[in-house]
Amino acid sequence: MTDSTSQGVRVAIGGSTQIRCVVNGEAVIIETEVRRSLSDVIRQELGLTGTHLGCEHGVCGACTVLLDGEPVRSCLMLGVQADGTEITTIEGLADGDIYHPVQQAMHDSHGFQCAFCAPGFLMTTVALLERNPHPSEEEIRNELSGNLCRCTGYQSIIDGVTQAVVLIDAADNAITNATEAGNG
Amino acid sequence: MKSPAFAYARPESLDEAFQLLAEHEDAKIMAGGQSLLPVLALRLGSPELIVDISRISGLDTIDVDADGNLTIGAMVRHSAVEESDDVAVFAPLVAEAAPYIGHRAIRNRGTTVGSIAHADPAAEMPAVCLATDAVMIAQSPRGRREIPAAEFFVGFLETALEADEILIAVRFPAVPVGTTGSVVELSRRHGDYALVGLATRLLVANEVITDAALAFLSVGPTAVRVSEAEAVLVGERPSAELFNEAARVVSATLQPAADVHASANYRKHLAGVLTRRGLARAIARLDVSI
């Protein structure tokens, strides 16, 4: 359906096109309908069902993924807009069986109850702590205000983010100490 | 919901985009898509063709000319505006408004110019454009046209753009010495659409207000300036009494609609509260005691 004779991409109504991106470190080529959202591409074409769809129109934040390292709502993007980008989903956080510190902290803090909203909160938190490793509680609340949770009342999630800061600091200190010991 | 079917084009030049607009009567321009995709998902609109302008080069720059006018291109995202040193210096009201826009995930995709072209009366940028006398730069095969903000927002989600035009940039005029301002709004949660918001710009010389702009959002079908209240301020020394009078005029003049979030009277009241708050914040920044 793609007409490659024109300068840019052109796809007819109801048509599909090919997109290339890197998802959780792996290069993928996907044939997808242009009307399909990035969230549906992730879930249905790639089978990565950890990304959840709550509202499908950009209000709840459950579908948040990282696009070139920055949080975006995958339901507010067409898959075709992600052509040429690098995407990290919730499946890309853990290192094998070892949780990402943010996942571990949320687990330790009993951050979630039903956890439908968890992938969005986790991806948003990972991006927040990359940008600001020591946020105040107000900053945490502001940055997470675009993610809705209908179970917890948020306090346990805020506790989880606070705990994640502690875990990441501890890991950083361990690396620093190990390096210094090695140098000594 | 899932979007309805549409044709999709991703041109690599403005000329190609103009050609696509000429070929399709029902085409819609998409920059970041943060307003368009909810429209599609809720099936409030069903364009025949979406023209994705994100890969057209030259639209993603923030430029300052020798006179201090700042121009933001059509593909500059809110997050870039928020973090730009040039915007903070040369268009401080734009910088102050940016963090109010949606949430970070929205600002990472949405564009300033796209928000202006969408013309949502609850959005921040149309009000900031009115307050700063910004100029919209539209281009079409017929040439380039500059549209003052005061003539641009003509109705709910409706602008002065013609069907063959693309809004390629917005220019914020240089800020004269003695200018101050503020952006204030009230919303239930950070990042929600404001119940009422206000972008204020004042020019003060010898402790007298010589020019004033009060541009409100979320109080009608478009962002709106309240010239009656601006007239109260001009020629006067800043004082709490003066700001109270301006607030009274604002509440008496605005005719906001009621919705599930707030009654009309509550919005009028909040507009008055924000008038006092916005004016006080603007004047405090000048270090003028009132």
Give the model confidence (pLDDT) of B215-229 as tens digits. Answer: 999 999 999 999 999
Phi then psi for B123, rounded to 5 degrees? Answer: -85, 155
Q: How far is CA B46 from CA B3, B6, B20, B150, in A?
A: 8, 7, 17, 29
Residues contacting residue B44 through CB under 8 Å, at least 6 positions apart? none
- Is a pLDDT exceeding 70 seen at residue A1? no
Residues contacting residue A21 through CB under 8 Å, at least 6 positions apart? A27, A28, A30, A82, A83, A84, A85, A86, A87
Q: Report the alpha-carbon angle B172-B175-B180, nearest 5.
A: 115
- Is a pLDDT exceeding 90 seen at residue B288? no
- pTM greater than 0.90: yes
Closest alpha carbon within chain B to A142: B190
Task: Work out the pLDDT band at B191, boundaries 50, 70, 90.
Answer: confident
Tell me the nearest-neighbour CA distance from B170 into chain A, angstroms: 24
Tokens of B147: 């549209």
Task: Work out the pLDDT band at A5, boundaries 50, 70, 90.
Answer: very low
Q: Do A72 and B16 touch (CB under 8 A)?
A: no
Tell me the nearest-neighbour CA distance from A183 into chain B, angstroms: 39
d(CA A90, CA A43): 12
In the predicted model, what is the mean pLDDT of residues B238-247? Answer: 98
- Is a pLDDT exceeding 80 seen at residue B137? yes
Tell me which of B2, B8, B42, B193 to substitute to probe the interface with A (most A C-beta atoms closer than 10 Å).
Answer: B8
- Assess B3–A contact: CB distance below 8 Å, yes or no: yes
In the predicted model, what is the mean pLDDT of residues A154-175? Answer: 94
Instruction: Name residue A87's beta-bridge partners.
Output: A23, A67
DSSP assignment letter at B204 = E
A124-140 pLDDT per residue, tens: 999 999 999 999 999 99
Tell me the nearest-neighbour CA distance from A182 into chain B, angstroms: 39
pLDDT computed for residue B146 by the predictor: 98
d(CA B19, CA A101): 51
Alpha-carbon Rg for chain B, nearest whole angstrom, is 19
How does the average pLDDT of chain A come out, rounded?
93
Exposure string for B120-149, b = 16+ CB within 10 A, e = fewer:
bbbbbbbbbbbbbbbbbbbbbeeeeeebeb
Sheet with B166-172, edge to edge strand ranges:
B62-64, B70-73, B166-172, B135-140, B143-148
Contact residues, chain B, for A34 at CB < 8 Å: 6-8, 50
- Is a pLDDT exceeding 50 seen at residue B139? yes
d(CA B141, CA B155): 25
Task: Work out the pLDDT band at A4, boundaries 50, 70, 90.
Answer: very low
- Assess B43–A contact: CB distance below 8 Å, yes or no: no
Contact residues, chain A, for B45 at CB < 8 Å: none
Q: Do A73 and B109 touch (CB under 8 A)?
A: yes
Q: Do B190 and A145 touch (CB under 8 A)?
A: yes
Neighbours of A114 (CB within 10 A): 10
Tell me which of A4, A10, A19, A129 to substitute to probe the interface with B (most B C-beta atoms closer than 10 Å).
Answer: A10
- Assess B55–A contact: CB distance below 8 Å, yes or no: yes
- Is a pLDDT exceeding 90 seen at residue A37? yes
- Is a pLDDT exceeding 90 seen at residue B283? yes
- Is a pLDDT exceeding 90 seen at residue A67? yes
Which of A76, A95, A109, A101 has its CA nearest to residue A168?
A101
Contact residues, chain A, for B19 at CB < 8 Å: none
Tokens of A134: 């020591």
The full DSSP string for B209-274 is EEEEEEEEESSSSS-EE-HHHHHHHTTS---HHHHHHHHHHHHHH--PPP-SS--HHHHHHHHHHH
In the predicted model, what is the mean pLDDT of residues B64-73? Answer: 98
d(CA A77, CA B124): 22
Tell me the nearest-neighbour CA distance from A22 into chain B, angstroms: 19
Which of B95, B278, B69 has its CA nearest to residue B181?
B278
Contact residues, chain A, for B104 at CB < 8 Å: 71, 124, 127, 143, 146
In the predicted model, what is the mean pLDDT of residues A111-136? Answer: 97
The full DSSP string for B131-192 is HHT-EEEEEETTEEEEEEHHHHEEETTEES--TT-EEEEEEEPP--TTEEEEEEEE-SSTTS
Task: Work out the pLDDT band at B109, boundaries 50, 70, 90.
Answer: very high
pLDDT computed for residue A181 by the predictor: 77
Residues contacting residue A54 through CB under 8 Å, at least 6 positions apart? A60, A61, A62, A63, A116, A117, A120, A148
The full DSSP string for A25-51 is TEEEEEEEETTSBHHHIIIIIS--TTS
In the predicted model, what is the mean pLDDT of residues B137-143? Answer: 98
End-to-end CA distance of chain B: 53
Residues of chain A in Cβ contact (below 8 Å) with chain B:
6-15, 17, 33-37, 40, 56-58, 61, 64, 67, 70-73, 75-78, 80-81, 124, 127, 141-143, 145-146
Q: Are B240 and B290 in contact (CB under 8 A)?
A: yes
d(CA B4, CA A118): 29
Q: Do A7 and B12 touch (CB under 8 A)?
A: yes
Closest alpha carbon within chain A to B9: A10
Contact residues, chain A, for B190 at CB < 8 Å: 141-142, 145
Sheet with B196-205, edge to edge strand ranges:
B179-186, B196-205, B208-217, B224-225
Tokens of B84: 């730009």
- Is a pLDDT exceeding 70 seen at residue B290? no
Residue with more model confidence, B289 or B38: B38
Contact residues, chain A, for B108 at CB < 8 Å: 67, 70-72
- Residue B182, Cα to own-chain centre: how many angstroms? 14
Closest alpha carbon within chain A to B55: A8
Closest alpha carbon within chain B to A60: B103
Tell me which of B40, B43, B53, B104 to substitute to probe the interface with A (most A C-beta atoms closer than 10 Å).
Answer: B104
Contact residues, chain A, for B189 at CB < 8 Å: 145
HEC letters along B55-105 = HCCCCCCEEECCCCCEEEECCCEHHHHHHCHHHHHHCHHHHHHHHHCCCHH
Q: Do A37 and B108 touch (CB under 8 A)?
A: no
How does the average pLDDT of chain B come out, rounded?
96
Which of A135, A128, A111, A158 has its CA nearest to residue A66?
A128
> Taking every pair of C-alpha atoms in chain A, what is the biggest distance, in angstroms?
66
Task: Work out the pLDDT band at B189, boundaries 50, 70, 90.
Answer: confident
In the predicted model, what is the mean pLDDT of residues B178-206? Answer: 93
Instruction: Name residue B196's beta-bridge partners.
Output: B186
Which helix (H) or strand (E) element contains residue A119?
helix A118-131
d(CA A117, CA A62): 5
Choose among B5, B33, B191: nearest Cβ to A76. B33
Phi then psi for B203, rounded to 5 degrees? Answer: -115, 125
Q: Do A8 and B42 touch (CB under 8 A)?
A: no
In the predicted model, what is the mean pLDDT of residues A20-41? Answer: 97
